[in-house]
Structure 1
Amino acid sequence: MTNTTVDATISRQAWLGLLTVLGPVLLVSMDGSVLYLAMPRISSAITPSADQALWILDIYGFVVGSLLITFGNIGDRFGRLRLIIAGAILFGIGSTGAAFATDPESLIAFRALMGLGGATLLPSGLAIVAALFPDPRERAQAIGIFAATFATGFAIGPMVGGFLLRSFQWWGVVFLINVPVVIAFIIAAPITLKEVRSSRYGRIDILSLFLSFAGILLFTYSVKRAAAYGVSSDQVLAGLAGVLALGWFIRRQGILQYPLMDLTLFRDRVFTVAISAGLLSLVVWSAAGYMTGLYLQLVLRYDVLTTALLTLPGAAVLTATCIFTPRIVERIGRRAGLIATYLLISVGVALLLFATAEQGVAVFIASTIIAGLGYGISFSLVAEVAVSAVPAERAGAASAIAETSNELGNALGISLLGSVAALVFRLLGPGVAGTLNETLDHPGISSQAIVQANEAFVTAMHAAMGIAAGVMLLVGVLAILWLPRKLPE
């Protein structure tokens, strides 16, 4: 057999392995957004409170984001393939349990289990993909496809959820659809993938794991509790405990030989701006997707299928931008690409300020198209810039931080900006219930209260999106001032 034939066989096996990994990658990213259109039906079926509804949405992202770096270290020690198969099994069990959950508490618990499984899939999947392709050019293409698939999952999540809900008339189907993909992956992975371990790894610091996870959850709980029920002593104490835990975590990383998160990477301003872009773009994207999904269904009264179709233009632009971003960046440069991420998202989200309780479809579509350009550039460019901004031997740590910023941004957007909207609705709404869905489902509600509730929700959405647009614009301006005029290509 000639060398050319051997190389062709290896290449074919590598691309087949990539295809195997892309299934769970798509599920992990899609499950961060698939509930946006399903939440009205879930709320009607199991009646979660205002803060429980937010936990249902974002506990998944918090568990994934909090554990990405930890599971990256575990995979280095015990093997990526073994870990990713175990994670897929947990993800499948969590998806099945979530589909048949009968109360908010069990749904939150199963979503957390899905997050535990999902946290193993991203870092292990990327490491396996990189190892499958020894040729640098093919490896770059494969990682680009990996990133585009991850971004596409975020984009099509609401649309897939809408079509499933319309076809099956049961909200559990948005979880149960994961199970066949998981089974197929578990069967194919041992055949098409190979084990990957790092020759250098350190001891996993359990205290750091606990501090990061507890700090994020306590801080978020405090913010959500204040928005849903007002300020209380328990809520303030939880917030302070979360801040102290995160402060301790950051301090501890500086003294560990093998930190969970290498904070010295943030001394590079290019790396810092890139990670900030990844975090903030997902903060805005997730919050906007959640609130506009409710707006279209509950305020403008579109059915779930029509709402899903209305997301198509923005999803198409986002996906196409992910694919063509390398060519775009070749023309405008990385610096302009990063800055454009902030400014395009800011303009796109600001358009939602023109939506009203009577009409807003055109505004919504225009918003998703313009912001979709920014999201697409961010999803495709951030990881590549972050990794290239550091020495090759630190690329793994940089990649893990980039993935963590994406997942945390997805959860923080719903938590923080969603909590702002919940607070405004609680202050301006008719006082019937803490959320728009609960208010509209309340028996005997008057037409006047419905009008007031719709107006309050639109105002709440304006407040959250106004903050999002302002923050993106501010950070975009700071990036212009802070980034070097010429970035290495």
Structure 2
Amino acid sequence: MTDVEAVRPAEAAPAVGSRRAWFGLAVLLLPVLLVSMDISVLFLAMPTLTVDLDPSAAQQLWILDIYGFLLAGLLITMGNLGDRIGRRNILLAGATIFGIASVLAAFAPSAVVLILARALMGVGGATLLPSSLALISTLFPNPRERAAAIGVWTAFFAGGSAVGPIIGGVLLHQFWWGSVFLINIPVLLILLAFGPLLLPEHRSGLRGPLDLPSVALSIGGILPLVYGVKHAAADGIDAEAILTSLIGVVVLIVFVRRQRKLDEPLLDLRLFTRAGFSVAIGSSLVGMMSLAAMSYLTSIYLQSVTGRDPLASAVLGVPMAVAVFICSMSGARVGRRFGTRNTFVFALTASAVGNLMLLGVGVHGGLWWYLVGSTVAGVGYGLAFTLVSDVAVSSVPAERAGSAVGISETSFELGNSLGLALLGSLAALIFRSGGDYAATLGETIQEANGDAGLIESARESFVAGMHIATAVGATLLVAMAMIARFASPREVSANVSGH
């Protein structure tokens, strides 16, 4: 159906393992770090930002969520567009958009302007992730080199979201809230200066332009679905959450039916006939669901149950971040040594065990259970997410790498939203069933007027909800591990090892 057109092959395609290729990888890590950091860095800035801009409750949610909405909604489209117009072209264009939006956000005079700037950052971020990961397949055609490079890429992506709150806390201690956006600018300037020199251009020979109805349907399906599950996480499952989610599902069904009829679809459904690709997408979806719920609930636990401030809570997350980083770096070697199927099974099981260890956490003790459990889970997540990224690149034809990466990154974003909505809502349901409490633990403590008995009871109910939600997350991980074990093991084993 397609031919691969390598743009400027003689001067732009570095030799395998060359110094230029690894410098190119270093440049590609910059936008990945920024995009992942910007998912989490704003949490700590919201209190001071709220004082300055005085946003309404609805505007506060949009400030936090619009970035992730557009990131999730546009990843498939931007990955596909990069395959057509050139992955380096769209990477540099996205970096420019991201930089302009960061300046607008830093100096936003009102909540509305900040929301628009965050939306523009989402558009730019959606171009950066799939193009940066897809370019690795051009920089490193050798499977072993590519797997190692993808491990580094995954480590920085996972590490960025972990260190985001810590960097945010340090900046906010010294500067005003806009500094969390301005830190993006010097990093992006380095990318724009060295990207054209070190990164190869690559575009596939796809003949036709993007199918615009497919673009509209994909965005029109993903955005309502993500909004619906996020609304359910914040306000419970109500008519608005159900209606918007159903609209998203219906539009996505129409989108899928259209893709089956097109010669050059936006989403190549044939990718899912590859067992390795399907296992990888399922693992990223389930893995992110459990990770998002665990991170969200333990963050509340550390602050509202143990009484720590946001920065101290973020520091306690460092062991997990280190585990994710190290295991992401070594995931490729582990996959080659033990086989991708076995590594997937081990990684998902370790993540499940880490989640289950949180059952040892209590209102007045058990912090070591959190530290050890989150670290064990971090080992599993680091290994699994590296394999997901590698399979997304290596199990598909080179000309479809961008769109395949778009699918895998979208599964990460959807998993994050579903984890907060489904598992977060489950924890909230258990919490509220424990007594006559406010919507959240923080609000309950504020409204308790020093009633020690009520506060103690509310904290116990929250911990019970956290236990049940993380146990359900662990169950999903075990189920996915079983699927990985028995779903076409020969094909899954071949994808990442390169044999």
State the TM bucket, normalised to the shorter chain.
0.7 to 0.9
Q: Indicate the residue corresponding to 1:249 in structure 2.
A: 255
Q: Indicate the residue corresponding to 1:95 in structure 2.
A: 102
Distance of 1:99 and 1:430 partners within structure 2: 41
Partner residue of 2:181 out of 175, 188, 209:
175
Once the two structures are TM-superposed, the CA of residue 338 in structure 1 deviates from its matched residue by 0.9
Once the two structures are TM-superposed, the CA of residue 339 in structure 1 deviates from its matched residue by 0.9
CA contact (8 A) 1:159 1:312 kept: no
- Structure 1 residues 103 and 363, CA gap change in structure 2 (3 angstroms): farther
Distance of 2:355 and 2:55 partners within structure 1: 28
Which amino acid in 1 is paired with 2:194?
A: A
Which shows bigger deviation, 436-445 or 460-469? 436-445
Determine helix, strand or coil for the equivalent of 1:32.
Answer: helix
Which shows bigger deviation, 286-295 or 386-395? 386-395
Q: Indicate the residue corresponding to 2:319 in structure 1.
A: 313
Partner residue of 1:466 out of 462, 468, 471:
471
- Residues 60-99 of structure 1: matches in 2 within 5 Å? 60-99=67-106
- Structure 1 residues 59 and 266, CA gap change in structure 2 (3 angstroms): same
Q: Indicate the residue corresponding to 1:362 in structure 2.
A: 368
Once the two structures are TM-superposed, the CA of residue 323 in structure 1 deviates from its matched residue by 1.4
- Residues 277-288 of structure 1: matches in 2 within 5 Å? 277-288=283-294
- Residues 138-177 of structure 1: matches in 2 within 5 Å? 138-165=145-172, 167-168=173-174, 170-177=176-183
Q: Indicate the residue corresponding to 1:301 in structure 2.
A: 307
Once the two structures are TM-superposed, the CA of residue 158 in structure 1 deviates from its matched residue by 3.5
- Structure 1 residues 430 and 34, CA gap change in structure 2 (3 angstroms): farther
Identity of aligned residues (%): 47
Distance of 2:487 and 2:315 partners within structure 1: 40
- Structure 1 residues 320 and 225, CA gap change in structure 2 (3 angstroms): closer
Q: Indicate the residue corresponding to 2:489 in structure 1.
A: 484
- Structure 1 residues 221 and 396, CA gap change in structure 2 (3 angstroms): closer
Distance of 2:471 and 2:162 partners within structure 1: 22
Distance of 2:53 and 2:302 partners within structure 1: 21
Which shows bigger deviation, 55-64 or 471-480? 55-64
CA contact (8 A) 1:216 1:242 kept: yes
Which shows bigger deviation, 277-286 or 235-244? 235-244
Once the two structures are TM-superposed, the CA of residue 97 in structure 1 deviates from its matched residue by 4.0
Which amino acid in 1 is paired with 2:465?
A: A
Partner residue of 2:120 out of 105, 113, 116:
113
1:436 aligns with 2:441: yes
- Structure 1 residues 141 and 219, CA gap change in structure 2 (3 angstroms): closer
CA contact (8 A) 1:51 1:228 kept: no
Distance of 1:147 and 1:48 partners within structure 2: 35
Q: Deviations over 1:255-282 (max 9, x none)?
A: 1222121112212222211111122212
Once the two structures are TM-superposed, the CA of residue 290 in structure 1 deviates from its matched residue by 2.2
CA contact (8 A) 2:75 2:127 kept: yes
Which amino acid in 1 is paired with 2:478?
A: L
Distance of 2:148 and 2:16 partners within structure 1: 18
CA contact (8 A) 1:54 1:414 kept: no
CA contact (8 A) 1:147 1:379 kept: yes
Distance of 1:240 and 1:38 partners within structure 2: 33
1:211 aligns with 2:217: yes
Which shows bigger deviation, 234-243 or 314-323? 234-243
Which shows bigger deviation, 108-117 or 136-145? 136-145
Question: Aligned-residue CA RMSD in angstroms?
Answer: 3.4
Once the two structures are TM-superposed, the CA of residue 321 in structure 1 deviates from its matched residue by 0.9
CA contact (8 A) 2:91 2:132 kept: yes
Which amino acid in 1 is paired with 2:246?
A: L
Q: How many residues align?
A: 483
Which shows bigger deviation, 332-341 or 212-221? 212-221
Distance of 1:417 and 1:169 partners within structure 2: 35
Name stretches of at least 5 consecutive residues in structure 1 with no aligned partner.
none
Partner residue of 2:242 out of 201, 212, 236:
236
1:327 aligns with 2:333: yes
CA contact (8 A) 1:317 1:369 kept: yes
Q: Indicate the residue corresponding to 2:422 in structure 1.
A: 416
Q: Indicate the residue corresponding to 1:379 in structure 2.
A: 385
- Residues 330-345 of structure 1: matches in 2 within 5 Å? 330-345=336-351
Q: Indicate the residue corresponding to 1:399 in structure 2.
A: 405
Once the two structures are TM-superposed, the CA of residue 314 in structure 1 deviates from its matched residue by 1.3
Name stretches of at least 5 consecutive residues in structure 2 with no aligned partner.
1-9
CA contact (8 A) 1:22 1:149 kept: yes
Q: Indicate the residue corresponding to 2:296 in structure 1.
A: 290
- Structure 1 residues 88 and 485, CA gap change in structure 2 (3 angstroms): closer
Distance of 2:122 and 2:286 partners within structure 1: 21
CA contact (8 A) 1:227 1:423 kept: no
Which shows bigger deviation, 325-334 or 383-392? 383-392
CA contact (8 A) 2:147 2:390 kept: no
Q: Deviations over 1:384-420 (max 9, x none)?
A: 2344444555545433322332233234333433333
Which amino acid in 1 is paired with 2:195?
A: A
- Structure 1 residues 243 and 483, CA gap change in structure 2 (3 angstroms): same
